[in-house]
Amino acid sequence: MRTEAAQDGGGPPQPHLVRRLTLFDSIMLVVSGTIGPSIFIIPADVLRAVPNPGVAMLLWIAAGAITLLAALACAELGGMFPEAGGQYVFMREAYGGFTAFLYGWVLFTAGNSAALASMGIAVALFLGQAVPALAADHVLLAGSIRGVPFRLEQGSVVAVAAVIALTTVNLMSVKLAAWVQNLTALAYVVAVLAIVAIGFLFGAGSWSHFNWASVGAVPVSAAGIGVAMIPLFYCYDGWEFLSWVGGEIKNPRRNLPLALIGGVLLVIVTYLLANAIFLYALAPSDLAHSTTPAAAAMRAMFSADIGRWLALFIAIISFGSASVVTLGGARIYYSMAKDGAFFRAMTRLHPRWKTPSTSLIAQGVWVCVLILSSRYDQLYTCFIFMMTLTYAMTVGAVLVLRRTQPDRARPYRCFGYPWLPMIYLIVALSFVISTLIARPLESLTGLALAALGVPLYLHWRRNAAAGHV
């Protein structure tokens, strides 16, 4: 097994990542990485596809259960390989370096970077709603360069500032970065519990909205369920970030599996409570047709003045989620570079803070470019197909490694093996095929983007074999 403390050529020990993340930090990282601004929007999308609130709630549970199946498999892999890189390491061990590289390459160029860019924009948008002076659509600069028009909006500047701030925090200390995401995750959970308790006790709402039979006039179709599951899977995305920082978790063989399972369960409960209070506040039809369901629910239960405070709260949640993406992504690229499959400079650790400084800075610069160019939306859309495919491959790695590495220590063994991993694979691959059919252009673009990295992989591996790394 490769370790962070490996030595090169028998020389002095090389700098390595320091294990500073506790079990609590790890659970909060799962919560903060998964929960983002989407929970304040997606309940309406689900109800539009599935008008029956009872079926909608069951779908939230089903999506959470499917996510938990993947987490159970990832927990076994994380216990086996408690290193920085997570899914990259799992794929390297199960399928070889080439497949692992393609995964990391797509993450850097599109998936993770575009996700971080969109979170920075979310921070800017909701902060602008809370503080009108920071309105995201305010144009700071406009013109053209050689006939090509350009405009710089205030939201882009705020988003770039958020990315720079998060990169700096993560550069200075993984523990400081953990505190940022701990506070935002705790704030979310405590706020949801408070809103649920106060809303049900004192808010203006109706229990009749939960009368499932009375709202079944519009039939629920299989196609509608399929449409609803797309945003639901997106809403549950992010739990895997914990595996990316496996090299910095204390007692990882115990804490990583516990945090993955406990964190996903906490997310499921929190999502169900949030949906319950939204349904209590608004009739299903009203919730389905709302563009900002969380704000509409809060206004219905309390007052019209609640919107600004809710926007500020969502901006904080988005900031915390972006911190997790910043933290995790840099470890993937660091691990790739250590394998000689990425820019060698990405292996550099800060001499004082022991964080992957070059990897963090490169990630931050690329994300800022995406924000200023407004290309992150297109890239992330292309990555949705690849993201689901990588989840299937991660779970499949459990089956592969049980056969190819049967004697490796497994501190945690996947519950329900092999049936539960196989059920997940069937569901995930069905989703991959349906996405390919429904969005062929975006899906094929994602595959083409992966293919662009092949010449670079061959170049880096050739240099590694020649000792030029």
Inside any domain, residue 284: yes
215 domain residue, yes or no: no
Q: What are 142's strand-pairing partners?
A: 151
Q: Which of 119-123, 157-161, 445-449 has the highest mean pLDDT?
A: 157-161
Q: Is the pLDDT of residue 88 over 90?
A: yes
Q: Over 60: is that where the pLDDT of 1 sits?
A: no
Q: What is the mean pLDDT of residues 401-418?
A: 93
- Give a yes or no: residue 408 inside a domain: yes
Q: What's residue 403's pLDDT?
A: 96
The answer to whether residue 458 is domain-embedded is yes
Which of 41-45, 377-381, 386-390 has the highest mean predicted lDDT (pLDDT)?
41-45
User: Does 15 map to a domain?
Assistant: no
Burial class (CB in 10 A: 0-12, 13-18, 19+), 49: buried
Query: Rounded to an integer, what distance in angstroms lies between the CA atom of residue 316 and that of residue 326?
Result: 15
Summarize pLDDT for 245-278 with one digit per residue, the tens: 888 888 888 898 899 999 999 999 999 999 999 9
User: Domain of 122?
Assistant: 23-208+221-465
Asked whether residue 260 is domain-assigned, the answer is: yes
Residue 267 is predicted with a pLDDT of 93
C-alpha span between 333 and 331 (Å, rounded): 5
- Res 83 pLDDT > 60: yes
| Confidence tier at 24 by pLDDT (50, 70, 90) | very high
In a domain, 391, yes or no: yes
Find out whether 39 and 271 touch, Cβ atoms under 8 Å: yes
Top pLDDT among 26 and 151 is at: 26
The confidence score (pLDDT) of residue 7 equals 38
Span 298-326, average pLDDT: 84
Question: For residues 82 and 252, is the Cβ–Cβ distance under 8 A?
Answer: yes
pLDDT, the chain, mean: 85
> DSSP for 244-274?
HBGGGBSSHHHHHHHHHHHHHHHHHHHHHHH
Give domain status of residue 8, yes or no.
Answer: no
CATH of the domain at 302: 1.20.1740.10
Give the integer Cα–Cα distance in Å for 36 and 316.
9
What's the whole-model pTM score?
Answer: 0.82
Give the total number of structural domains in the chain.
Answer: 1
